[in-house]
Amino acid sequence: MLVRICDTLIDWRSDNCPADMRPFIVGDSFADEPDLEVELEDVDVLPELPEPEYEISITEIAHDGDALLGWNKYEGFESSTALLRLEGARATIVRGPDTWECSVLNMLMLALLPVVSLCDSLLMHASLIDYEGSAVAFTASSGTGKSTQADLWVKHLGATIMNGDRAFMRRDADGTWTAFGSPWAGSSPYVRDMRAPLAAVIVLEQAPENSIRRLTGAELMARLYNNLRYPLWDEAATAASLASFDALVRDVPVFLLSCRPDEGAVLVTRDAVFGAA
């Protein structure tokens, strides 16, 4: 089946796919060459895992010759991981009988990230909304209130949540940016195959009063850099990601929203991004 995520075509060579991928299926045949080919292989016992060379959150990475190996480190649930083997634009995801579906999705993200990074795209830890045809991304560390702010925009302004945890952003040839929903929603239920022009990125912090201001310079870099996901195991893709990051902060306004979880935070943000109603 053919899957499209962030305008990237994936040839998913299995009739079985994680539930959160299904909204992104676009057919069984295609005229264009896929950007990534993925085989799903079922085994009775997962192969022995090597010592990791990199650790990124719960993901561990090593190399086997020219191939990248990736897996999840689940303490006490080692057999629940999937195993990725990636060689260029060809990936195999190995699944055992105890493998969790979320780990299959995690391995797809690992395979996809260098591919999209080389196509002027970024992956941000963010809740993404569509408001009257424009996208706004709320980003912060976990627990700060990204999902809360997105929910408030739905309640008070009728916005639509595109994704609750991971947002793709791609720079178009004319220098504008498009934001995309993705299959990776964390604990959020919102997994939608949607896209919209990116109007702004909002960095959140909790505060006793609502206020918003434009971020610039070193403060912008410091507050936003760690909320993006980089393919650090791939030198060329990482360099492309950093170039895209520079372009994003040049092309798209980034604001710091100090806020309470209330309607006032929604209205002050709307007025800063779109102008006063």
Q: What are the tens digits of pLDDT across the range 44-97?
A: 999 988 999 988 888 999 999 989 999 999 988 888 999 999 999 999 999 999
Per-residue model confidence (pLDDT) at position 77: 85
CATH topology of domain 121-274: Rossmann fold (3.40.50)
Grouping H, G, I as helix, E, B as strand and the rest as coil, residue 202 is strand
Q: Give the residue-averaged pLDDT of 10-16.
A: 93
Over residues 120-146, mean pLDDT:
93
Strands 121-131 and 67-72 turn out to be unpaired
Confidence of residue 31 (pLDDT cuts 50, 70, 90): low
Residues 6+ apart with CB under 8 A from 169: 121, 122, 123, 124, 137, 177, 178, 179, 180, 198, 248
Burial class (CB within 10 angstroms; exposed 0-12, middle 13-18, buried 19+) of 73: middle
Q: What would the two tokens of residue 150 be?
A: 């997105």
List the chain domain ranges: 2-117, 121-274
List pLDDT tens digits, range 247-262.
Answer: 999 999 999 999 999 9
pTM for the model stands at: 0.93
